[in-house]
């Protein structure tokens, strides 16, 4: 080891972290925060331990990314180890790759003399596919486009597309990016508004990819190039979605991949979000509308053969199948739009009346499409057939999953907004898929070749791989949900001074006028019941006074979209000349709305759950954060199944299990929402949670159960002042704004 006389590896870790902090801040006298140093040491010790596991809660301001990067990059330098770092949000992923990894790599180089490489890798469909882009271009232009670098046809085609409409500009951009060796081709580098439908025209999933061994654009394949770079890097930065695909479908997308090679450590930042991502990736549905969509896809693929009796009969059979599914589900499952009914092991197969017919129609669809497109040699048809085949495979898997009871998987009938029905399913207990699909996956044998475009199933087995889970907020249920099953280590906030200079306001409901307004119809004066609909009007008055006292500068977070829209309209009506009021329902991309709010110091932003995480603004722009009430999810089939799963696995009663699911999830989201206020040591402000049920029975006519209330209050205890009346809250904000 060069450039150091240090005699222990933990001292080297301290040296790397200290130097990284100096480089990151640009201040020669900067030092790691106490919590940051302790976190780095814990992660190092965990990676050295026999269990190789750690779950840590490190609040905002800790500098956790520098801490875990120092650990994995130093281990790469000293032991030639490799690591995967996964994040949930794009903003954190960008911060790690563009800001933090470079300074830690530079610090490791200075201290040890070793170069540590790192690379970003996303899922296959996050990158442009030149074959798909060229196929779409040929459809739009109605002529061939050639290949990059072979003449003027390619460039002229791009120019013609740039002057086009609808999907033409994204296709032109994709063709330019795909042909540019310096461009990543990442969808998030597209400079304009981008819909999912538009992106799907220039990208493919792994199942839709024809393979780099046969693709005419293999040399320019952006996802393959990204994977090659990751394979050569010591540290791979990716996202939870990719890990969730691996866990949910048990495919070696990252860990156990022969292409990417051995992985010694997995760092899961924003770890609280991973179990939910696995549930989402493992979910699916069976419905008439899905069949109707497939019928249209068949018709588009073989429209030139549409007059043939065989094709016409098959299309008619598909429409009849959709009608059969709709009728079967409507006849056997009553309900109103927006509701759902859980299916248990005792319930009969909900697809019994159409399962055989559906399966046969899916198989016949593939046969017909392949038969009638066999002579087509154009790349557009080839790609569409692969996409269609992939959709059919997904539909068959969904039919299989929805037709039977599987332990750890929730099934339910959902009545959609148009009155139609769908059978839906989602994994509930994802601890086993995470354990078998990620944590204990064995590295593949070195001599087993693998196609670059798609990895095989995971190779399960015992592993000494370290798993380090970190997050600013982690629910008590995470160890059991994640399959890691170790205690959570919690660090205190390094932003103590900022928190002590800020305040929490939770209004009570003791005044008879307030109690009457918030009581549900039919309540008695001795046992009033809280009315969430009436609460919206009550909360609106508090919100307007708080916003006025703060001179705008606010983030308003509603438990429901309906309430949020009402708050936004009320604020516009009152303050349309004083402050700009923005909301997430304008139809504009949310990132644009948030960016506009950040640029307007007195602006007000109104939204719901999607703004409770990953959103912040500098200085006074976000000096007031208001939550109308606790963001607890309404009863739903997946979470009800999670409650039952907790009861069975842990042997707890329904109330305790309910707290571990519904209340715990709400407390996590509450803590994340509250965390929007203090993002740096110079921030000061007020958090208002306008839910009087957070008060004890002595301080409010409405209150949560003590255990649930305590769970929620744990997320709110860090503030220096607690205010009770609206007058106190508005006075605090006025004083903060005026400096008095």
Whether 225 has a pLDDT exceeding 70, the answer reads yes
* pTM (whole model) above 0.75: yes
Kindly state whether residues 686 and 538 are assigned to the same domain.
yes
Whether 237 has a pLDDT exceeding 50, the answer reads yes
CATH number of the domain encompassing residue 520: 3.40.50.300
Query: Could you tell me which residues are beta bridge partners of residue 284?
Result: 425
State residue 166's pLDDT score.
74
Q: Which of 208, 225, 242 is the last residue of a domain?
A: 225
State residue 465's pLDDT score.
85
State residue 590's pLDDT score.
84
Kindly state whether residues 288 and 417 are assigned to the same domain.
yes
Q: How far apart are CA 429 and CA 438, in angstroms?
A: 15
Q: Which of 370, 393, 424 is the last residue of a domain?
A: 424
Q: How far apart are CA 359 and CA 321, in angstroms?
A: 11
- Identify the domain containing residue 554 by its residue range: 496-738
> Which has more confidence, 527 or 549?
549
State residue 292's pLDDT score.
96
Q: How many CA atoms lie within 13 A of 458 on its CB side?
A: 26
Is residue 251 classed as helix, strand or coil in its secondary structure? strand
Q: For the segment 95-119, what is each residue's pLDDT rounded down to a tens digit? A: 899 999 999 999 999 999 999 999 9
Single out the residue of 624, 610, 731, 711 nearest to residue 664, CA to CA.
Answer: 711
Q: For the segment 450-464, what is each residue's pLDDT rounded down to a tens digit? A: 333 345 667 666 666
State residue 7's pLDDT score.
53
Whether 411 has a pLDDT exceeding 80, the answer reads yes
State residue 304's pLDDT score.
52
Whether 352 has a pLDDT exceeding 90, the answer reads yes
User: Would 116 be classed as within a structural domain?
Assistant: no
Q: How confident is the model at residue 293 (pLDDT cuts 50, 70, 90)?
A: very high
C-beta of residue 388 within 8 angstroms of C-beta of residue 369: yes
Share of the chain above pLDDT 90, in %: 64
Mean pLDDT in residue range 522-532: 84
User: Would 436 be classed as within a structural domain?
Assistant: no
Could you please report the per-residue DSSP string of 384-400?
HHHHHHHHHHHHHHHHH
Kindly state whether residues 313 and 185 are assigned to the same domain.
no
Whether 734 has a pLDDT exceeding 90, the answer reads yes
Whether 307 has a pLDDT exceeding 90, the answer reads no
Mean pLDDT in residue range 712-734: 94
Kindly state whether residues 545 and 637 are assigned to the same domain.
yes
Q: How far apart are CA 660 and CA 654, in angstroms?
A: 10
User: Would 188 be classed as within a structural domain?
Assistant: yes
CATH number of the domain encompassing residue 390: 1.10.275
Mean pLDDT in residue range 191-216: 85
State residue 463's pLDDT score.
64
- Burial code (b: 16+ CB inside 10 Å, e: under 16) for 13-22 equals bbbbbbbbbb
Q: How many angstroms separate the Cα of 595 from the Cα of each of 38, 93, 99, 601?
A: 35, 18, 20, 11
User: Would 260 be classed as within a structural domain?
Assistant: no
For 210-328, list the strands marked E by DSSP: 235-239, 265-268, 284-287
Mean pLDDT in residue range 249-266: 91
Whether 446 has a pLDDT exceeding 60, the answer reads no
Kindly state whether residues 512 and 416 are assigned to the same domain.
no
State residue 91's pLDDT score.
78
State residue 151's pLDDT score.
65
User: Would 18 be classed as within a structural domain?
Assistant: no
Kindly state whether residues 608 and 677 are assigned to the same domain.
yes
Whether 303 has a pLDDT exceeding 70, the answer reads no
How many structural domains is the chain composed of? 3
Kindly state whether residues 549 and 654 are assigned to the same domain.
yes
Mean pLDDT in residue range 153-173: 85
State residue 728's pLDDT score.
97
Weakest-pLDDT range from 2-11, 157-166, 408-417, 463-472? 2-11
State residue 3's pLDDT score.
43
State residue 8's pLDDT score.
79
Kindly state whether residues 342 and 220 are assigned to the same domain.
no
Q: How far apart are CA 129 and CA 211, in angstroms?
A: 11
Kindly state whether residues 221 and 298 are assigned to the same domain.
no
Mean pLDDT in residue range 186-213: 86
State residue 353's pLDDT score.
95
Q: Which of 192, 225, 258 is the last residue of a domain?
A: 225
> Mean pLDDT, the chain, as a whole number?
90
State residue 418's pLDDT score.
86
Mean pLDDT in residue range 123-140: 90
Kindly state whether residues 626 and 723 are assigned to the same domain.
yes
State residue 455's pLDDT score.
58
Q: How far apart are CA 605 and CA 543, in angstroms?
A: 12
Kindly state whether residues 519 and 394 are assigned to the same domain.
no
User: Would 178 be classed as within a structural domain?
Assistant: yes
Contacts of 435 (CB under 8 A, 6+ apart): 483
State residue 462's pLDDT score.
63
Kindly state whether residues 192 and 301 are assigned to the same domain.
no
Two structure tokens written together for 684: 């000061």
User: Would 338 be classed as within a structural domain?
Assistant: yes
Long-range contacts of 384-391 (CB under 8 A, 24+ apart): 384/135, 384/300, 384/301, 385/301, 386/204, 386/207, 386/208, 386/209, 386/210, 387/204, 387/208, 388/297, 388/298, 388/301, 389/207, 390/205, 390/207, 390/208, 391/294, 391/297
User: Would 335 be classed as within a structural domain?
Assistant: yes
Q: How far apart are CA 209 and CA 516, in angstroms?
A: 62
Single out the residue of 686, 736, 737, 679 nearest to residue 716, CA to CA.
Answer: 686
Mean pLDDT in residue range 293-297: 94
State residue 450's pLDDT score.
38
Weakest-pLDDT range from 82-86, 221-225, 305-309? 305-309
Q: For the segment 697-712, what is each residue's pLDDT rounded down to a tens digit? A: 887 889 999 999 999 9
The alpha carbon of 338 is separated from its chain's Cα centroid by a whole number of angstroms, namely: 23
């Amino acid at each position: 080891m060069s450039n150091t006389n240090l005699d222990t590896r933990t001292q080297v870790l301290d040296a790397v972290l200290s130097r990284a902090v100096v480089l990151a801040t640009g201040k020669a006298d900067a030092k790691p925060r106490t919590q940051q140093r302790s976190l780095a040491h814990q992660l190092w010790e965990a990676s050295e331990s026999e269990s190789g596991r750690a779950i840590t809660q490190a609040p905002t301001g800790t500098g956790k990314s520098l801490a875990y990067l120092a650990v994995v990059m130093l281990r790469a330098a000293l032991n030639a180890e490799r690591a995967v770092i996964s994040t949930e949000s794009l903003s954190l992923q960008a911060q790690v790759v563009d800001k933090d990894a470079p300074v830690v790599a530079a610090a490791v180089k200075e201290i040890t003399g070793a170069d540590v490489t790192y690379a970003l890798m996303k899922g296959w469909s996050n990158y442009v596919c030149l074959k798909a882009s060229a196929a779409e271009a040929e459809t739009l232009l109605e002529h061939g486009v050639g290949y990059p670098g072979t003449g003027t046809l390619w460039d002229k085609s791009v120019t013609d597309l740039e002057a086009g409409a609808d999907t033409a500009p994204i296709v032109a951009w994709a063709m330019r990016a795909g042909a540019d060796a310096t461009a990543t081709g990442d969808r998030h580098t597209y400079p304009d508004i981008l819909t999912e439908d538009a992106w799907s025209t220039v990208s493919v999933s792994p199942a839709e990819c024809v393979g780099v061994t046969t693709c005419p654009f293999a040399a320019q394949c952006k996802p393959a190039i990204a994977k090659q770079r990751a394979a050569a890097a010591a540290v791979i930065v990716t996202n939870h979605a990719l890990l969730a695909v691996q866990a949910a479908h048990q495919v070696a997308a990252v860990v156990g991949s022969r292409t990417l090679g051995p992985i010694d450590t997995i760092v899961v930042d924003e770890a609280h979000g991973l179990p939910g991502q696995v549930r989402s990736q493992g979910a699916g549905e069976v419905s008439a509308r899905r069949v109707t969509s497939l019928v249209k896809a068949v018709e588009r693929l073989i429209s030139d053969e549409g007059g043939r009796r065989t094709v016409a009969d098959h299309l008619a059979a598909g429409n009849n199948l959709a009608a059969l599914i709709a009728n079967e589900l409507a006849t056997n499952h009553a309900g109103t739009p927006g509701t759902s009914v859980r299916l248990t092991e005792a319930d009969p197969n909900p697809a019994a009346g159409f399962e055989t017919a559906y399966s046969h129609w899916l198989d016949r669809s593939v046969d017909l499409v392949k038969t009638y497109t066999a002579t087509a040699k154009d790349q557009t048809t080839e790609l569409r057939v692969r996409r269609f085949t992939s959709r059919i495979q997904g539909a068959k898997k969904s039919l299989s999953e929805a037709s039977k009871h599987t332990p750890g998987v929730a099934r339910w009938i959902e009545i959609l907004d148009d009155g139609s029905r769908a059978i839906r399913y989602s994994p509930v207990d994802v601890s086993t898929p995470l354990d078998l699909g990620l944590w204990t996956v064995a590295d593949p044998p070195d001599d087993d070749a693998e196609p670059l475009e798609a990895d095989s199933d995971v190779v399960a087995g015992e592993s000494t791989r370290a798993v380090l889970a970190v997050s600013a907020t982690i629910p008590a249920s995470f160890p059991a949900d994640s399959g890691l099953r170790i205690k959570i280590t919690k660090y205190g906030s390094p932003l103590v001074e900022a928190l002590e200079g800020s305040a929490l306001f939770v209004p009570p409901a003791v005044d008879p006028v307030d109690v009457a307004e918030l009581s549900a119809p039919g309540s008695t004066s001795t046992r009033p019941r809280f009315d969430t609909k009436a609460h919206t009007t009550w909360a609106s008055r508090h919100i307007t006074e708080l916003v006025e006292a703060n001179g705008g500068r606010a983030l308003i977070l509603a438990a429901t979209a309906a309430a949020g829209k009402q708050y936004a309209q009320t604020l516009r009506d009152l303050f349309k000349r004083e402050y700009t009021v923005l909301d997430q329902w304008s139809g504009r991309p949310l990132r644009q709305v948030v960016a506009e709010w950040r640029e307007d110091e007195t602006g007000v932003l109104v939204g719901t759950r999607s703004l409770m995480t990953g959103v912040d603004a500098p200085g006074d722009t976000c000096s007031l954060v208001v939550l109308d009430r606790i963001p607890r999810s309404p009863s739903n089939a997946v979470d009800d199944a999670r409650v039952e799963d907790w009861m069975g696995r842990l042997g707890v009663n329904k109330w305790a299990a309910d707290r571990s699911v519904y209340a715990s999830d709400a407390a996590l989201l509450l803590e994340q929402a509250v965390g929007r206020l203090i993002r740096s040591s110079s921030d000061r402000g007020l958090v208002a949670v306008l839910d009087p049920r957070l008060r004890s029975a002595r301080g409010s006519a409405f209150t949560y159960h003590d255990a649930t209330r305590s769970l929620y209050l744990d997320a709110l205890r860090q503030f220096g002042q607690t205010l009770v009346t609206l007058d106190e809250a508005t006075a605090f904000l006025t004083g903060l704004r005026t400096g008095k």
